[in-house]
Structure 1
Amino acid sequence: MGNLSLGFWVTAFFLLGSLIDAADGSIHEYKDEGFVKIANARYFYGGAEGLYASEFLGVDASSATTPPLKGNSFIRFDDVSFVRSKDSARKQNSTQASAGLVEAILFEAKQHDRVSGSFFKTENMCCTPKLADAGSCNLGEVMISADPNDPEWPKRIPTFFKKGEEEVKMSPEAVIINKTGWYTVYFTTCDEDMDGTVVRGRSVWKNLGGYLRGETTPLVKFYGLMLLAYAMLGLVWFPRVALYWKDGIQLHSHVSLVIA
């Protein structure tokens, strides 16, 4: 019976380990990673996950710092901060409303064309003076066209550097997910003086069932069935091993000799 119990717990340990690995995937860490220049913007890819819609759809979908955990899916920004160079902090033009602005852009896969210039038929990500004069967007910000079916999305969360400030911390917001889909986060800046800026911290992506990725959540039942199957196999196998342990030792001795 001792061998039987040992086999059961060893099996459970390895299966639990596989679940823990999947859970780690819902936390995206940023370790002083730099922004990449694309068109007239600088951006950093913050991650993407499949998320299920929250059960309590009556909850306000706007950002909340402490959303209820149970029954809600959300993306939360934990201790995310942006660090720029001393030269960038010194050159900040305080007369521009968007000076020192870094935006967190969140969107669902179907809204991809509504972020940056695709919707406005331009290759730029940031609003241009021409489009700003036409009232299509705000100069110094990433161009976003609201989804008519969900006017609050794509969503942007602004963070401003003060003049002379080298590091700024993003507000610890959590965006509640009210629609099932594949969500992406970008950190972007349209300020040309922000070259060399890095991001640090992490974002936490929570699904209905916990911190598993949306695409791996259905596998929980599979792993449960596999655990049951291994337990049943252990009930049959380990008593046989205990019964013929002498033959087993002899067999393993021969195998070890061949390997050596």
Structure 2
Amino acid sequence: MAGPTTAERGTRQQSKSGPPGPPRRPLLRRLRPPRPRLPRGRALLVLLAGTALLAGGGAWLLYGSQWLRVDRVTVSGARVLTADEVRTAAAVPVGSPLISVDTGLIEERLRQKLPRIDSVDVVRSWPQGIGLKVVERVPVLIVEKGGKFIEVDADGVRFATVSEPPKGVPTLELAAGGSPSLRRFGTDRLVLAAVRVAGDLPAGVARDTLNIKVRSYDSLSLELNGGRTIDWGSSEKGEAKRATLTALMKAAPKARHFDVSVPTAPASSGS
């Protein structure tokens, strides 16, 4: 008679030993003590206290420490103005916390006290510096008055009075007198018209220009070195007049007078 099969023997052995129990955990894991946990409220207090300490330390570093206070003021971009003039007008509060310096107020102060400054950028240079980056106005015309010379920039702003005229800058002569243009447009508009003409001149002509005379809004003329003159007319159609004048001067290099007031019908005369 055949004996029990392998499956039967396994079933008998299992019934003798009983059902399998849960898997045993490693002894080391069973002996490890549970980690202590802070109550939720206490953990929040600890977090808030740490945050407050960090914030307080940062505030002290920015406002209370000696490491981040204004120690030097540098100036860049000044050409006619001196660095000392710019620093004096800026009145940067040396010794104050760098973070507390009002850069906008300093910029406004510089533009008010020094009209020669066209734009200025006040920047913090960590850890202890303030930088003043200056852009000065450039004169394109000068107006003689009472033995002095008033400088006028490309926007028509009369920004400085000097004893000596800057080299290479034409003189603006306002000869409108009692013309209707003066009453209608005012001096500022006539000055802007002259500034516009100065900006439209060919480079070579601009270098040779000594004087721009404004008789009215529609009548501007130029005096060049060598006794040459140009009737420009109004300040309109500047690009066309520049091209016409360039061609006219090439065609009649020995001419003494040029008329481009009507750029489609130019004329030259004299030799």
TM range (shorter): under 0.3
Higher helix share: 2
When the two structures are superposed, what TM-score results if normalisation uses the length of structure 2? 0.21
Which has the larger Rg?
2
